[in-house]
Amino acid sequence: MSRNVLAPPTQRLSHNRNYRVNVVHDDFGGSKWNSKNQNPSKGYEEPDLYAEDDYEDDSAECNIEQLPDGSYKLALPVAKSFYGGLIGFKGTTKRRIETETKTDIHVPRQNDISNDLLIKSNDRSNVCAALRKIRLLIDSLRKRMKPTHFLAVPLNSGQVQERFVELRQSILDAQLPGIDTELFISERCIHITLGVYVLLDDAERKKAVNELETCRQWLSGLSTPFNLKIKGLEIMNDDPSSIRVLYACVESPELQQFADKCLKHFQTTGLCATDNNQRDSIKLHMTVMNCRYRKDNTNAFDGREILKRFGDFDFGTAQCNEIHLCVLKSSQEVEDFYKITGSLAF
């Protein structure tokens, strides 16, 4: 047996206490930890989780200004929805960041015209450290927030819309237990979702539209407009007797390729909702029925008979030549589809 196990290195502390020094394997960052443990006289040093070499350069660092007195200042645009989380209970979070980074941070009041959070310090590196901590905190806060926007391929016209109306009527005519018209998406709103985001102010919405335009580069080499084939019904869960979402399958290899590249790009922007950050690929589908559409959306529905009778239903084909950034739950605000924040046409 290894001597490191039988006689591990130890360190004697006060009150005659003797502690084993854990040696961490290099594959798990051991070189960083072990180098510290090899010199016990320096005492314990917490690893810097916000070290500059652990993060890619933040573009906001280019906006750091040096003031006439030699100090540094950064004006960082932050949506007002994050102010409470940045300040913390009785200001504890803000004070902690200020203490750890040796900075002064000013958070605007809710009624201030400017949304710029100000970070000041005598050392530029302290401003950068505070910026990284604030970015991480905002990312954490955004993950707890409900999505506000989604990226959509509209299918609310032509053959697909007509066939959807036919299917809905056929299912309703069957008078199946627990099935009613409230479960169906409106024919005005049929779409494929390519992404879900949390956009909290005009600046974030403008940034999302610009990022969508950036995705145009991945259309190169693909045949546009994209050809879509919509056929067959599937469910999101494994129990057809208790369905929450029933959807139509979408086949389009080139749209799939483009959607996955858009997903990876938006994951780097900090704008994605939690669901999108946890995905490796977009599941192309067209929602047909969803229990959330009911006023009382707590109950799932039994779709066994629907799948048995209409499981191979063919919605036909469509073409995709535009993608919209839409406001969630905004279909009642406009006559057709959803309220559109921005688009990518091709």
Distance (Å) of CA 204 to CA 244, 271, 279: 32, 8, 22
Tokens of 249: 């399958």
Instruction: Quote the pLDDT of residue 137.
Output: 96
Which H or E element spans position 230? strand 226-235
CA–CA separation, 216 and 210 (whole Å): 10
Q: What is the pTM of this model?
A: 0.79
DSSP line for 65-118: EE-TTS-EEEEEE--GGGHHHHH-GGGHHHHHHHHHHT-EEEPPPTT-S--EEE
**pLDDT, tens digit only, all 346 positions of the chain:** 555 566 677 766 655 666 676 655 544 455 554 555 554 444 444 444 444 444 456 889 999 999 999 999 999 999 999 999 999 999 999 999 999 999 999 999 878 888 899 999 999 999 999 999 999 999 999 999 999 999 999 999 999 999 999 999 999 999 999 999 999 999 999 999 999 999 999 999 999 999 999 999 999 999 999 999 999 999 999 999 999 999 999 999 999 999 999 999 999 999 999 988 889 999 999 999 999 998 876 689 999 999 999 999 999 999 999 999 999 999 989 989 999 999 999 9
- Token representation of residue 27: 């594959």
How many Å separate Cα 130 from the centre of its chain? 23
Distance from C-alpha of 234 to C-alpha of 306, rounded to nearest angstrom: 10
Could you tell me if 249 and 232 are in contact, meaning their C-beta atoms sit under 8 angstroms apart?
yes
Predicted confidence at residue 86, as pLDDT, reads 96
- According to the model, what pLDDT value does residue 40 have? 46
Residue 224: CB partners within 8 Å, gap ≥ 6?
321, 346
Indicate left, alpha or beta for 73 from its phi (over 0: left) and psi (-120 to 50: alpha): beta
Q: Where are the alpha helices (DSSP H) in the chain?
A: 3-6, 30-37, 83-87, 92-101, 124-143, 158-173, 202-214, 253-267, 274-277, 304-310
At 264, phi and psi to the nearest 5?
-65, -35
Of 170, 193, 183, the residue nearest 291 (C-alpha): 183
Of 248, 257, 247, nearest to 227 (Cα)? 257
208 contacts 199 by C-beta, under 8 angstroms? yes
Determine the Cα–Cα distance for residues 265 and 287; give it in Å rounded to an integer. Answer: 24
Q: How far apart are CA 140 and CA 92, in angstroms?
A: 17
Taking the C-alpha atoms of residue 145 and residue 196, their distance in angstroms, rounded to an integer, is 12
Beta bridge partners of 75: 118
DSSP secondary structure letter of residue 300: -
pLDDT of 296: 78
Query: Are 136 and 96 a contacting pair, CB within 8 Å?
Result: no
Amino acid (one-letter) located at 264: K
| Number of residues that this document lists for the chain | 346
Closest by Cα among 301, 342, 344 to 321: 344
Cβ within 8 Å of residue 250, ≥6 positions away? 192, 228, 229, 230, 284, 285, 286
Residue that is written with structure tokens 């000013």 in the block: 106
Whether residue 315 contacts residue 248, with contact meaning beta carbons closer than 8 Å, is answered with yes
Helices 202-214 and 253-267: crossing angle in degrees, nearest 10, is: 140
Which pair of structure tokens corresponds to residue 178?
């627990």
